[in-house]
Amino acid sequence: MVRLGPKAQPLLFGKQAGRPLPPTPSPSPRPSRGPIGVEGAIPERESRYPASWSAEMARGRIRGLAVSDVRFPTSGAQHGSDAMHPDPDYSAAYVVIETDAPDGLKGCGFTFTLGKGTEVVISAVHALSIHIINKDLDDIISDFQGFYRQLTSDGQLRWIGPEKGAVHLATAAILNAVWDLWAKQEGKPLWKLLVDMDPKQLLSCIDFRYITDALTEEEAFLILQSGLSGKKEREEQMLKYGYPAYTTSCAWLGYPDHCLKQLLDANQRWEVEEAIEWVTELAEFKPLWIEEPTSPDDILGHATIGKALAPLGIGVATGEQCHNRVMFKQFLQAQALSYLQVDSCRLGSVNENLSVLLMAKKFKIPVCPHAGGVGLCELVQHLIIFDYISVSGSLENRMCEYVDHLHEHFKYPIVIMNASYMPPQEAGYSSEMKEDSVKKYLFPQGEIWQKFSCS
Amino acid sequence: MVRLGPKAQPLLFGKQAGRPLPPTPSPSPRPSRGPIGVEGAIPERESRYPASWSAEMARGRIRGLAVSDVRFPTSGAQHGSDAMHPDPDYSAAYVVIETDAPDGLKGCGFTFTLGKGTEVVISAVHALSIHIINKDLDDIISDFQGFYRQLTSDGQLRWIGPEKGAVHLATAAILNAVWDLWAKQEGKPLWKLLVDMDPKQLLSCIDFRYITDALTEEEAFLILQSGLSGKKEREEQMLKYGYPAYTTSCAWLGYPDHCLKQLLDANQRWEVEEAIEWVTELAEFKPLWIEEPTSPDDILGHATIGKALAPLGIGVATGEQCHNRVMFKQFLQAQALSYLQVDSCRLGSVNENLSVLLMAKKFKIPVCPHAGGVGLCELVQHLIIFDYISVSGSLENRMCEYVDHLHEHFKYPIVIMNASYMPPQEAGYSSEMKEDSVKKYLFPQGEIWQKFSCS
């Protein structure tokens, strides 16, 4: 899809002028919270952990994994329950893990899916779950790199991937739950957990397999080391102003209707040459980038398109369907993208996202995450805030997608203020859904879906 | 995996000399059949179709699709049923489609899987099945390109692909069943059905989306047109001598044990630089190619390895985990492989394989298909025999993998004679399994698996 960026869509952090401002999204309701600060900003920790426990003692053994097929009838109430209907219903394969620790904390994770795609991913979650059940959380996080590789190298599941498709989305859902649980146990929002980890700890979470020709562990270490300088100030800045957002629906303002339509219809549907021809014709509208002009697998095609459009000042953005770090590595090596759109739920959770953020830094490519769907905004804000504070150190040409959609089903929905994502304060990965929403939208048993099946 | 080719492994079609011959695999048992010839070679057709029917009348509406989880405990009898055990059990997601036509013919298709990966693919088959149930077979094959695109563009499933992972393997299984049914209705083995189609008919089965920058429909037409010359002679040659096979286990003869082990352990596990170093050290053994040296997604990595090894006379072979035509297109564009190993069940059935065979021809890269697994030899022999007769017209540097494994479960197992695949004579895609085998190895209900669960 073609989306307009800061040039035409002035949402960036007090630096924009020109076109009329789109309506600012209104902040979602959020429980009140204490004063914001850099150190000691998270009030829950002390009250949650009795003084005599160490964090490690609390971790516990994972004794259960539950996965739910949560679907929202976004394709229209009258069609949502019709299995023959091709319209997408925004959905999540929603994973909850529990431990035997006395803290009673649950790790919640998910991956974004559409309708019946959810059942395939759920089947993959079940197949992968043997790797996590009865595992000590401490064993996982003390060798997170190893655990990531264990999941992605399962001898019976690797063949139907590897690291792509349903198994990789399932891997993301499970690992997202692990990260949520870990952050909850530490009493920190995920971004803060990451920001507080030292470079070596961060690196121990990343599987560098297949990317060392682009980024060695040593190079990654140096990036993180140099990110320590000014970190405190950037954290303060984030807490005060948040991370710049852009919203897709507003991005179309200023486009004549016929162009809008043509562009929308072409989403991922162009051949390489077609993309170049179409976007060249649209150059007068000065889009900042053309998004996903062709197959998400076509690294060389994107490179050809990018090269042809560069003289027009139009960039290429892609990544929401880029399935793993090996693909992103090549997009960067081939100079096939000028904006990198990570997806928090397609890549293998925080672990694989970290490797992509680090590669983007090395290749000097701004990361502008994909969001929307179900809960993608909730998750990706943590990653991009961490990226700013500890990796990129820059907001230039950067923004995080925002869609005002389905946040009400999350226990800690995003907070947008002045067109920016405000850093979450609650412990965890903001991935926990309201119990009532899960129950109501469960497919096919939930109240919402039962209503359709009766009507 | 490193496999030796014709240089070290003299299985090619009466042209080899030098090293001692490995033991020739003994032919599998096969029902006797009539005389072999080019025209009218397939005796069943007339007896199957009453004179008053046209083929189209017979096609019928697809009224049922059944999918079975067939697993062979190849990881060792005592471990096969243990869900915790990481060893692979060779398996198939096995699809059978039936029509309401009075011919009673069934289309059988599958994709090769490993153990619990099968249940994920089966879930995807169920999700895709709405596209085929109640569809007229004639509508499918008269716009096969359109049907292929319908399956691969499902609005709720594309997100968990697209054209990769579990949904794409499921697409292959379903389409393989359609091709089997079509060939059975025509009374021809699949290779012969393809060989007898005119260029335009063949092109109407191929989705050219995302590959026109490498191969246009017009170029493909010209390739097929020029393939008409000498076609009859090549068909005769195939029927008489078959298509050269190579067998992986024999390929190791002549290697010292310690090398063999080192090479085997490195399968897909090398970083780009590691691959170059290792294979350079092994150059004295003159391997024809190094197979899958690194991530199957790493086009640019393979290109780097290929460039470094070319002066040593060692090629790069890959493809068994290359997930679609867009990836193969780039492997060819980047000169990242010197031997292309299509997999009949990973690509989207015959349809997508056709596009890859045609691209390989244009880029002058020999196709050496991947086989083994469950029934991959049975299927791919059709594709490679068609490739020789109608597309490549060459046997130079070409051979088709052969593994003597699990053929006894197929109704029409491959026939190897003089180290060559003999063209199948029976109508269909050789994809039909014996009913008894399906029943016995059905997971978890089948007799074989029940035995494990009781012991």
For B275-317, what is each residue's pLDDT tens digit?
999 999 989 888 889 999 999 999 999 999 999 999 999 999 9
- Nearest-angstrom CA–CA distance, B357 and B359: 6
Contact A321 B87 (CB under 8 A): no
Region of poorest pLDDT, from A94-108, A285-299, B51-65, B152-166: B51-65
What are the pLDDT digits (tens) for B358-384?
999 999 999 999 999 999 999 999 999
Residue B198 has pLDDT above 60, yes or no: yes
The mean predicted confidence, pLDDT, of chain B is: 85
Contact B304 A155 (CB under 8 A): no
Residue A30 has pLDDT above 50, yes or no: no
Region of poorest pLDDT, from A63-67, A77-81, B34-38, B362-366: B34-38
Please, is A278 exposed, middle or buried when counting C-beta atoms within 10 Å of its C-beta (0-12, 13-18, 19+)?
middle
Q: Identify the closest residue of chain A to B122 by CA–CA distance.
A: A120
What are the pLDDT digits (tens) for A338-391?
999 999 999 999 999 999 999 999 999 999 999 999 999 999 999 999 999 999
Q: What string of DSSP letters covers A138-192?
A: HHHHHTHHHHHHHHHT-TTTGGG-SSSHHHHHHHHHHHHHHHHHHHHHHTSBHHH
Region of poorest pLDDT, from A80-89, A108-117, A203-212, B385-394: A80-89
Q: Identify the closest residue of chain B to A160 by CA–CA distance.
A: B165
How close B130 gets to chain A, by Cα (Å)?
Answer: 7
Region of poorest pLDDT, from A177-191, B32-46, B78-92, B267-281: B32-46
Radius of gyration of chain A (CA): 21
Q: Identify the closest residue of chain A to B347 by CA–CA distance.
A: A160
Q: Which two tokens stand for residue B246?
A: 């190579």
What are the pLDDT digits (tens) for B400-430?
999 888 999 999 999 999 999 999 999 999 9
Q: Which residues of B205-232 are buried (b: 16+ CB within 10 A; e: fewer)?
A: bbbbbbbbbbbebeebeebbeebeeeee
Q: With contacts defined as CB-CB under 8 Å, which chain A residues touch B112?
A: 159
Contact A330 B155 (CB under 8 A): no
State residue A181 phi and psi, 5-degree precision.
Answer: -65, -45
- Nearest-angstrom CA–CA distance, A221 and B158: 37
pLDDT of residue A201: 97
% chain B with pLDDT above 70: 80
Residue A132 has pLDDT above 70, yes or no: yes
Q: Which of A72, A81, A120 to mutate to test the interface with B (most CBs of B within 10 A)?
A: A120
Q: Is B141 helix (H, G, I), strand (E, B) or coil?
A: helix
pLDDT of residue A452: 79
pLDDT of residue A19: 32
- Nearest-angstrom CA–CA distance, B211 and A103: 55
Residues A296 and A321: beta-carbon distance below 8 Å: yes
Q: Identify the closest residue of chain B to A216 by CA–CA distance.
A: B271
Residues B95 and B65: beta-carbon distance below 8 Å: yes
How far from chain centre, in Å, is Cα B417? 20
Residue B333 has pLDDT above 50, yes or no: yes
Contact A300 B88 (CB under 8 A): no
Q: How many helices (H) and strands (E) does chain B have?
A: 18, 10
How close B336 gets to chain A, by Cα (Å)?
Answer: 12
pLDDT of residue B84: 35
Q: Which of A406, A387, A425 is nearest to A243 (CA)?
A: A387
Residue A32 has pLDDT above 80, yes or no: no
Residues B242 and B422: beta-carbon distance below 8 Å: yes
- Nearest-angstrom CA–CA distance, B267 and B283: 17
Q: Which two tokens stand for residue B289?
A: 């190619």
DSSP tag of B255: S
Contact B298 A210 (CB under 8 A): yes
Confidence of residue B16 (pLDDT cuts 50, 70, 90): very low
Q: With contacts defined as CB-CB under 8 Å, which chain A residues touch B304?
A: 213
Q: Which helix (H) or strand (E) holds B440?
A: helix B435-441
pLDDT of residue B26: 40
Q: With contacts defined as CB-CB under 8 Å, which chain B residues touch A89?
A: 156
Q: Identify the closest residue of chain A to B209 by CA–CA distance.
A: A271
How close A128 gets to chain B, by Cα (Å)?
Answer: 9
Confidence of residue B141 (pLDDT cuts 50, 70, 90): very high
- Nearest-angstrom CA–CA distance, A125 and A170: 5
Confidence of residue B118 (pLDDT cuts 50, 70, 90): very high
Confidence of residue B453 (pLDDT cuts 50, 70, 90): confident
Q: Identify the closest residue of chain B to A296 by CA–CA distance.
A: B162
% chain A with pLDDT above 70: 80
Centre a 10 Å sphere on the Cβ of residue B29 and count the other Cβ atoms it contains: 9
pLDDT of residue B454: 64
pTM above 0.80, yes or no: yes
Residue A135 has pLDDT above 70, yes or no: yes
In this prediction, residues A47-67 reach a mean pLDDT of 66
Residue B348 has pLDDT above 70, yes or no: yes
Residues B122 and B100: beta-carbon distance below 8 Å: no
Pairs across A and B, CB distance < 8 A:
188
DSSP tag of B251: G
Residue A42 has pLDDT above 60, yes or no: no
Residues B295 and A323: beta-carbon distance below 8 Å: no
Q: Which of B114, B150, B160 to mutate to test the interface with A (most CBs of A within 10 A)?
A: B160
Residue A47 has pLDDT above 60, yes or no: no
Confidence of residue B269 (pLDDT cuts 50, 70, 90): confident
Q: Identify the closest residue of chain A to B331 by CA–CA distance.
A: A300
Residues B65 and B132: beta-carbon distance below 8 Å: yes
Which residue reads 């701004």 in tokens?
A366
Which residues face B109 on adjacent strands? B95
What are the pLDDT digits (tens) for A389-417?
999 999 999 999 998 889 999 999 999 99
Residue B63 has pLDDT above 80, yes or no: yes
Q: With contacts defined as CB-CB under 8 Å, which chain B residues touch A86?
A: 154-156
Contact A299 B299 (CB under 8 A): yes
pLDDT of residue A169: 98
Q: With contacts defined as CB-CB under 8 Å, which chain B residues touch A157?
A: 114, 116-117, 120
DSSP tag of A389: I
Which residue reads 């790493």 in tokens?
B298
Residue B10 has pLDDT above 80, yes or no: no
Handedness of CA B270, B272, B274, B278 (dihedral sign): positive
What are the pLDDT digits (tens) for B161-178?
999 999 999 999 999 999
How close B266 gets to chain A, by Cα (Å)?
Answer: 13
Residue B8 has pLDDT above 50, yes or no: no
In this prediction, residues A70-95 reach a mean pLDDT of 70
Q: Which of B160, B187, B169 is nearest to B47 (CA)?
A: B187
Region of poorest pLDDT, from A43-52, A146-155, A271-280, B122-131: A43-52
Contact B130 A324 (CB under 8 A): no
Residue A8 has pLDDT above 90, yes or no: no
- Nearest-angstrom CA–CA distance, A387 and A82: 41
Q: Cis bond leading into A162, ω under 30°? A: yes
